[in-house]
Structure 1
């Protein structure tokens, strides 16, 4: 799962950088609320903790590497498919955004979510994988896993 998610997101990022970096390319509407754009994110989710120095860049990259190793070890000890799948999603997102930090020095975001004039968020598929994986882990921990443990 981690490799598939990584490849899909990196392919979309490669296309986005190639298409939008030349300058002058307008956003591509995907519907009423989504557009394809190119935004460089030197921080983490929602642009928090923006890093403008090399030390900050490498600090975030190092954190991503450590988190990825932790998630991978956790996945090797997983005892159920849902947990393993969700950890694979989180790992694919972490690896893809981590690759961006190492290669570009910042993360490539390309999906712009907006409602009317309200501009909410620009993200990438790696972010989607992380959110879906984390939500699945939470769901498994709070509801599904409890039922699994109670069964005879």
Structure 2
């Protein structure tokens, strides 16, 4: 079966490029204008705060000596390839899943670039309530989380195959 890019989910690759460009642009701006640990208040409960993440989400494995950099880079590459295959197999009109996959790919590539170029991921969004601060994150992380949420949402919205009913039911 030979699909064109326009008829497959790959038609949504433009969204990957938008996420990647905005993410890397903001990270470049943060690196050019902030000292490590510097914070700028934006709104109540929201700061820009330059932090480096040497691990994965919530700095998981950040203190493990460097092997995790290449491990997480490999995981990101595998996820990107798998989602590109899924987008290729999808029809272009399967908007929700293609948007979800594109957001995840864009975010994964943004953090992959950081990991391979800098050796760490640039984080800058500091959400807090009172004295409690959520883990500092970035736009790539946000795109990944929104994409993952859309995948879950699609699981609830997609009609299930009627032929999969248990025996004895009409």
Q: Same fold (TM over 0.5)?
A: yes
Task: Name the CA distance, whole Å, in 2 between partners of 1:8 and 1:108.
Answer: 13
Q: Which of the two has greater helix per residue?
A: 1
What is the SS of the residue equivalent to 1:146?
coil
For this pair of structures, how many residues does the alignment match? 146
> What TM-score, normalized to structure 1?
0.88
C-alpha displacement of 1:82 = 1.1
Matching of residues 108-123 of structure 1 within 5 Å: 108-123=122-137
Rg bigger for which structure? Answer: 2
C-alpha displacement of 1:67 = 1.3
C-alpha displacement of 1:83 = 0.7
> What TM-score, normalized to structure 2?
0.79
**Corresponding residue to 2:139 among 125, 133, 138:** 125
Instruction: Verify the 8 A CA contact 2:61 2:68 in the aligned structure 1.
Output: no
Q: Which runs of 4+ in 1 moved over 2 A?
A: 51-56
**Corresponding residue to 1:102 among 107, 116, 124:** 116
Instruction: Verify the 8 A CA contact 1:51 1:57 in the aligned structure 2.
Output: no
Give unpaired runs (5+ residues) of structure 1.
none
CA gap 1:104/1:26 in 2 versus in 1, 3 angstroms: closer
CA gap 1:102/1:41 in 2 versus in 1, 3 angstroms: same
Give unpaired runs (5+ residues) of structure 2.
1-14, 163-170
